[in-house]
Structure 1
Amino acid sequence: MKARVLFEKVAPEIVPVDNPLEAYKMFAGRVMAWLGLMEQLLADVKSPRYRGATAEQVRGEVQLYERAMDRANTVLGTYAKLNIDERLTRISEQQAHTMVTAVTAALQAAGLSADQQLLVRGALARQLRALPASERDGA
């Protein structure tokens, strides 16, 4: 019941994934954050085991930490195999090339002289550098 209520809160915000590589990169970051949280949780544990009613038990914190390590290993291994950083870089380079080609064509279509085109390109470069990184990268 609680899961359904929680899902209903999130459900209106669900949108299709446009960039699965970027989504996986963010997921890998969450996995690492979870691993860090589990490490902090484990710092307070005095012993990995405790005596239960019928037998010795492994603490839940230890099990959560172990699962977090396994998950991080799996996600990071997949991340490396997929060369996600390299692919994202190539996509950014392709987008930049497309933008330069479009701006060049627009400047020529507007009938600007070579000197005017150079001035516009310089102004555009300054404006792009002034943007926060998140806006420059399309995030």
Structure 2
Amino acid sequence: APTQLPEFEELDKALFNKGVSVIEANLSDPDFGVDSFAKAMNMSRSTLSRKLKIIYGGTPLDLIRDIRMRHAKSLLSNPNLNVSDVAEAVGFPDRRYFSSSFKKAIGMSPSDYQRRLRGLNETGSETNTEKDN
């Protein structure tokens, strides 16, 4: 593949970062989809799809899902939030649909993911737990 000129790489990075910011700003909106994303990016749906395919290697919907799942993983680490809270926070009003989407993306259910995180927290491995002095 031909190497891109550095200024195009910078533009691609800026476009990608703007896309991530737009998705994050609309994270909890269940109606935020590819059409809303394209509109917010001031692009046609096909232009956005074409550009993301080149920069990211996936579709706009893949990117929206990836960002939502990344945030879901982060929110699930909060012991004060239950799976329904997390589902709503990342734009899934239906907990069951969120759970199946999460399992498909991450390889385990949100509650198993939470249990695994809590187990790691209790044993102190993989997380920095404060020790009593």
- TM interval, short-chain normalised: under 0.3
CA radius of gyration, larger in: 1
Relative to its length, the structure with more strand (as a share) is: 1
Relative to its length, the structure with more helix (as a share) is: 1
